[in-house]
Structure 1
């Protein structure tokens, strides 16, 4: 494997989707399992786009954990930093899909959110050499919900800062993961102080900042060099370098939206690596970067499975040559 360009740190898990579109858990009669977890999704998407990537996370010493590690490896992701927990299980999340393809997390199969292996990611076991090699550190906020993994996240941030790496955070807000929901807002806002690039949904932007304007959000923290706000079928808005803009969505038949944002993140990072960080001084290249990322995210919605649905480089190129953006976008 080539020297990794990106570390993705956080959770890898099983997404257990309802096979019947339903608004109620009680009406679901069968389920289908897919690998998932936002940082792992992004790692696999990056690898499929030709970016050498490594994943750091904690999984169980069980059959599901082995399956997930093999999936990462098969996707081309380096697993040097994967840790194993001998007693806590690999996380399974239950997701109910509605008729529009949107999914809602409804539980963890009767377990408490902090009982799973990913909550025990250990700071002392982080491979320091990986942080010396890469250009980017990518993470979400769910690992902040647990004391042990939160410590590991901040150790990773400290290493990234020490070695002058770019830090990209996707908020990925989900209250069901948090043990102490009252501390979530302040914990997340504290993390953003160390971040260079921030991606959040419209709802997350309203929740954290009271605005959906990326430039306004960037002004909350001087360290933010880029902010992306996604709005599903309404497209996205961005503030990168010193330029802001809105981008409509592509028009496609959506099967499931889980993992689309993670794939979008991979598209953004892969293109910044392609063009170089200096390219954020050019508004035309910035729009190319965001359009490419939108295509990667859109392709992921056209099949089930956050990882199994991710496109290759060639599939993205073909899609961009045959599909056009809608006229309406987020404003």
Structure 2
């Protein structure tokens, strides 16, 4: 590990994205036609932060299997702090079947590897988290979470416990909703929004977030609007809000400023998996350096906020140029080089 004091902790799932052949089905495709890539949103963000130069830690649970060993090797190689990592001897690391369309867009369509007890990420233990948290929290500024842990009873309890610890220690919460219906019900329509039970589970997280990242459809499902200013106004803490929309402009309400920018065109589109996670990492990478003392609001100019969003968008664009959510993640130098050659768009 390159830094024993992570500034961002990322809690949740680490898994394998089994990418089917473009236009094909990963469930029926021959093994040699599929591409297995380590991923999972919190693991993606932790790796992306480390590559950008921000000390990050991962809190999650992996199967004591070959995939888990590969993950450990990758995370150690990236310099991600693993003191919050748990191991499961009974449950495997989850494999997610990902259908890739010919344009690079993807659909999550089920899982592989379950031996009858579920997957390791579903069994994250609060007790082990309680032991790991004190040394991890020494320098932490942000805790990044998503909603997938809420889909399983044990991991939901661990997530709620982590949020309580963060509140006690005055650690800011970044919430990337990252709605994935198949994690809640394996036979769910991948395009379906959250039902009443899922909405009830997600609702208590929203007022705890200092930064809320949503895809456009997630904002509409949860708030009946995709306007980040309106979303922020709906919550008592008035969080910073970013709404992404695939290839359409990203919109934000950050530090009292609102705006929108066209997304940056990637060098090429191979696979969009992990682009949103790279965007989140790019944003947190800068917020860590700009976040004021506990209890103080962000005081940033409109120009600085726009630069932050543009940097984050570049991180997302560059990930689209390679397969998987982790391998193509850029360094800060690569982002700077890309931005130097990209046209500077006017805000919308």
Common topology (TM > 0.5): yes
Q: 2:49 corresponds to which residue?
A: 46
Query: 1:114–1:146: 8 Å Cα contact kept in structure 2?
Result: no
Q: 2:190 corresponds to which residue?
A: none
* 3-state DSSP of counterpart to 1:193: helix
The CA distance in 2 between the partners of 1:312 and 1:287, in whole Å, is 20
Q: 1:10 corresponds to which residue?
A: 12
The CA distance in 2 between the partners of 1:172 and 1:27, in whole Å, is 27
Matches within 5 A, 1:318-329: 318-324=337-343
Q: 1:167 to 1:196 in 2, by over 3 A?
A: same
TM-score, scaled to structure 1: 0.94
| Root mean square deviation, CA, Å | 2.0
The CA distance in 2 between the partners of 1:161 and 1:308, in whole Å, is 33
> Offset at 1:197?
0.7
Gaps of 5+ in 1: none
Q: 2:273 corresponds to which residue?
A: 258
Q: 1:105 corresponds to which residue?
A: 108
* 3-state DSSP of counterpart to 1:87: coil
Q: 1:133 corresponds to which residue?
A: 139
> Offset at 1:125?
0.7
Q: 2:333 corresponds to which residue?
A: 314
Is 1:202 matched with 2:229? no
* 3-state DSSP of counterpart to 2:208: coil
TM-score, scaled to structure 2: 0.89
> Offset at 1:128?
2.2
Gaps of 5+ in 2: 187-194
> Offset at 1:324?
2.2
How many residues align structurally?
328
The CA distance in 2 between the partners of 1:178 and 1:262, in whole Å, is 20
Q: 1:58 corresponds to which residue?
A: 61
Query: 1:12–1:38: 8 Å Cα contact kept in structure 2?
Result: yes
Q: 1:246 corresponds to which residue?
A: 260
Q: 1:305 corresponds to which residue?
A: 324
- Per-residue displacement from partner, 1:137-169 (whole Å, max 9, x unpaired)? 001110010010001101110111101111001
The CA distance in 1 between the partners of 2:35 and 2:264, in whole Å, is 27
